[in-house]
């Protein structure tokens, strides 16, 4: 099987700190093909068996296709001959290994991220700060309108973010809510008094509050979508341009488009455009090499001309170039990395960049690998 790593081990003991993606990469060149070699059905993919530190993953190459099996930590293989004697029964106290680093996505699992129009206007709002501070942080006091006795005590503080719009259709897909900190109610009233318990960013007057929710780490298996999915990267958290490994990005495809938690998508770097123009040539060279001289190609933004030849397209199938021009050519798109979807909304999904081999930017295409 060409999908196996050349040095794939015959067995591997799961270690503390492992992730399912990293373990998959020890056996497979393409970690999202894990369900195939594990011989999982759709139900198992959505509700996989948990894997704990100390468990042994065994690779069997004896069949027509290689397969993986799991031996729970402390278990004895069925074909082993053992001498029965008193022994300690081992129960795992640690949590199951996550699919991807939990510390990187934990904050995003407990945050709304996307809200509907007008929701922010209905939320409790910070109306004043202690000593008229412009910015408050952890340990500072602030005053909130909109809280009532009997409401939750622990809250998250948000600030309205950017409006996310589909670049192809212009449809408004949602409004981002930026998590800036956490707070605890000290006294209910009009206004109520809160203490900021954690500040991720500066907290200001007019920021909004939502009830805190606990982060639950879903169990899911990295896999490619069952159907072709193609979209673009709309935004990246914490940066305006640079996207690297473990960056969190938003894409313009959600549950209505068939995107599910655990889907792995390839990021594609759009090929540049080469615009061909005529240049001045010495007469003698022009006579000797009429087809090979006078050609000048320059990398340009999308020239938006009708005579552009897309990679893989027959040049003769495009209209003849205008006078004074050669045909323009678009270079092929190249894979730049991989992302895994960890949270979905109706029109938008959030993913983590797991691999980056070329620069990745907002506007790059994401698609079924």
| CATH number where 265 lies | 2.40.30
pLDDT digits (tens, 9 = 90+) for 298-310: 555 555 444 455 5
What is the rounded radius of gyration, in angstroms, for the C-alpha atoms of the chain? 28
pLDDT band for position 283 (cuts 50, 70, 90): very low
Backbone torsions φ then ψ of 31, nearest 5 degrees: -60, -25
Select, from the ranges 69-73, 106-110, 116-120, 145-149, the one with the highest average predicted confidence (pLDDT): 145-149
Report whether 225 contacts 177 (CB < 8 A).
no
Based on the domain organization, do 239 and 341 belong to the same domain?
Answer: yes
Question: What pLDDT score was predicted for residue 300?
Answer: 55
Residue 317 shares a structural domain with residue 339: no
- What's the pLDDT score for residue 209? 94
Model-wide pTM > 0.95: no
On whether residue 98 sits in a domain, the answer given is: no
Judgement on whether residues 138 and 189 belong to the same structural domain of the protein: yes
What's the pLDDT band for 356 if we cut at 50, 70, 90?
confident
pLDDT tens profile 41-66: 777 777 777 888 889 999 988 878 88
The answer to whether position 89 is within a domain reads no
Does 139 share its domain with 191? yes
**Tell me: the pLDDT tens digits for 149-186?**
989 999 999 998 889 999 989 999 989 888 899 999 99
Segment 190-203 shows an average pLDDT of 91
Domain that holds residue 125: 111-211
Please enumerate in sequence order all residues whose Cβ is within 8 A of that of 369, keeping only pairs 6 or more positions apart, or say none.
Answer: 30, 32, 224, 264, 265, 266, 335, 338
253 vs 341: CA distance, rounded Å: 11
Q: How many domains does the chain have?
A: 4
| 8 A C-beta contact, residue 201 and residue 238 | no
First to last CA, the chain: 18
The DSSP call for residue 201 is: S
Q: How does the average pLDDT of the chain come out, rounded?
A: 79
């Amino acid at each position: 099987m060409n999908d196996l790593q050349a040095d794939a081990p015959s067995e591997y003991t799961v270690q503390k700190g492992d992730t399912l993606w990293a373990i998959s990469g020890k056996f497979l060149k393409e970690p999202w093909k894990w369900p195939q070699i594990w011989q999982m059905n759709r139900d198992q993919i959505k509700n996989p068996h948990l894997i704990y530190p100390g468990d042994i993953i065994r690779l069997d190459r004896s069949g027509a296709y290689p397969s993986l099996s799991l031996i729970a930590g402390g278990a004895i293989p069925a074909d082993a001959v053992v001498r029965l004697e008193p022994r300690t029964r081992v129960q795992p106290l640690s949590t199951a290994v996550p699919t991807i680093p939990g510390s990187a996505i934990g904050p995003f699992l407990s945050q709304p991220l996307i809200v509907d129009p007008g929701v922010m206007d209905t939320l409790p709002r910070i109306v004043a700060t202690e000593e008229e501070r412009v910015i408050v942080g952890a340990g500072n006091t602030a005053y909130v309108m909109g809280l009532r006795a009997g409401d939750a005590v622990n809250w998250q503080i948000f600030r309205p973010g950017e409006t996310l719009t589909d670049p192809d259709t212009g449809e408004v897909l949602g409004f981002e809510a930026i998590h800036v900190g956490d707070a605890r109610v000290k006294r209910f009233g009009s206004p109520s008094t809160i203490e900021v318990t954690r500040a991720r960013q500066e907290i200001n007057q007019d920021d909004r509050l939502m009830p805190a929710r606990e982060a639950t780490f879903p169990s899911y298996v990295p896999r490619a979508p069952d159907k072709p999915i193609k979209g673009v990267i709309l935004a990246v958290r914490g940066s305006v341009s640079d996207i690297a490994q473990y960056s969190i990005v938003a894409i313009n495809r959600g549950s209505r488009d068939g995107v599910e938690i655990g889907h792995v998508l390839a990021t594609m770097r759009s090929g540049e455009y080469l615009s061909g123009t005529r240049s001045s040539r010495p007469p003698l060279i022009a006579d000797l090499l009429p087809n090979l001289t006078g050609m000048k190609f320059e990398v340009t933004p999308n020239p938006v001309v009708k005579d552009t030849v897309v990679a893989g397209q027959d040049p003769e199938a495009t209209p003849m170039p205008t006078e004074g021009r050669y045909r323009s050519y678009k270079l092929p798109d190249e894979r730049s990395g991989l992302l895994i979807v960890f949270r979905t909304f109706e029109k938008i999904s959030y993913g983590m960049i797991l691999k980056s081999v070329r620069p990745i930017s907002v506007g790059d295409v994401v698609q079924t690998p």
